[in-house]
Amino acid sequence: MNIIETKNLTKYYGKSLGIIDVNLSVAEGEIFGFIGPNGAGKSTTIRTLLGLIYPTGGSATIFGKDIIKFGPEIKEEVGYLPSEVFYYDDMKVIDLLKYSGSFYKRDRSVIDKRIKELAGIMDLDLTKKIDDLSYGNKKKVGIVQGLLHQPKLIILDEPTGGLDPLMQQKFFDLLKEENEKGVTILFSSHILSEVQKLCDRVAIIKEGRIIKVQRISDLIEKNYKRFKLQTAAKAEPENISIDGVSDLKIEGTTVSFLYKGPINEITKKLASLDLTDLWAEEPDLEEIFLHYYQKED
């Protein structure tokens, strides 16, 4: 059974576009990346899944249950960290977390213990007032708040903003630990290196539509290579351009491009050139991603 399943999920805000025909399926135990630039529809999709806004078309299920009919029941097992965290300013951190915990049908003592544990890991002072916290610390409250009831599905919307690299690492370790226990994670981000570090599969969204769903490993290893060449004489584009070459840049005798396709085809082509040096590297996701967007434009 898929943990999240959406079928042509569509959301219009009045006439302006939110998301169109989003089809996603996230399997149990998966860390699923959801990536796209700001305004592409990531938050809209997530908020629709959580029942904060209602779809104008299509449907979705979480744990096999319809998101609209069984919203509260589903959310019993969902932990959510929004991209921007806002809490009741007059509350202390510990009171907010206990308030958050009070919504779940769980043993209070278990939740209290988990709050202390998570606050310890994230280095969060529980006695402070929400109002006095820095942005990064509010984010930590958000993380603890999202995990304190030990949910089966964690939904993260741009979760790392405001966290320093050390905290980010701790947070990712925490997520991996949860994932090893069988927890499914939906991780939305516009920062590709995070997704690359953490996720098994990734959906790429642009202007409200899912362009592609792929394994991270496929994206990185199997399909794409980043080539850099040093040629003896000034290279001409037609000497390199074959099917599968993209992002071709030629600056004097330095050439670089992305290649997707049979590796023999490109080496044959390159053999005809007078090379002084050659690098073939794994491109990072950032490059592939950029390439997707450029191609679509």
Partner 1 sequence: MNVFLRELRAHRTALIFWCIGMFAMVGSGMGKYAAYESSGTSVNTLVRQLPRAVQIILGMGSFDLSKAIGFYGVLYLYLIVMATIHAAVLGAEIISKEERDRTSEFLFAKPVPRTKVITAKLLAALANMIVLNLVTLVSSIWVVDYYNKGGRPVTGDIVALMAGMFFLQLIFLSIGMSIAAIRKKPKSAASIATAVLLATFILSVAIDINNKLEFLKYLTPFKYFDAQDILPDGRLDLGYVALSGGIIIVLLAVTYRFYAKRDLSI
Closer by beta carbon to partner 1, 154 or else 210: 154
The dihedral formed by the CA atoms of 251, 256, 258 and 262, expressed in degrees to the nearest 10: 120
CB of 202 to partner 1, least distance (A): 23
Question: Which of residues 39, 57, 65, 84 is near partner 1 by CB under 8 A?
Answer: 84
Q: Which residue in 143, 156, 148 sits closest to 98, CA to CA?
A: 148
Strand partners, 59: 7
Burial of 174 (0-12, 13-18, 19+ CB in 10 A): middle
| Sign of the four-CA dihedral 41, 4, 118, 113 | positive
Question: Which of residues 8, 102, 254, 294 is near partner 1 by CB under 8 A?
Answer: 102
Indicate the SS3 state at residue 278.
Answer: strand
Residue matched to tokens 């951190």: 93
Closer by beta carbon to partner 1, 85 or else 258: 85
Closer by beta carbon to partner 1, 86 or else 107: 86
Question: Which of residues 16, 38, 72, 274 is near partner 1 by CB under 8 A?
Answer: 72
CB of 64 to partner 1, least distance (A): 17
CB of 50 to partner 1, least distance (A): 5
Residue 40 near residue 20, CB atoms below 8 Å:
no
Q: Which residue in 183, 187, 207, 213 sits closest to 199, CA to CA?
A: 187
Classify each residue of 208-247 as buried b or exposed e, where b means 16 or more C-beta atoms within 10 Å of its C-beta.
bbbbebbebeebbeeebbbbebebeeebeeeebeeebbbb
Question: Which of residues 8, 52, 120, 268 is near partner 1 by CB under 8 A?
Answer: 52
CB of 271 to partner 1, least distance (A): 57
Q: Which range of residues in 74-82, 115-123, 230-238, 239-247 is near partner 1 by CB under 8 A?
A: 74-82
CB of 46 to partner 1, least distance (A): 10
Kindly identify the residues of this chain, within the stretch 136-155, that bind partner 1 according to CB under 8 A: 145
Closer by beta carbon to partner 1, 56 or else 223: 56
Which residues lie near partner 1 (CB under 8 A)? 13, 47, 50-54, 71-76, 78, 80, 82, 84-90, 99-100, 102-105, 145
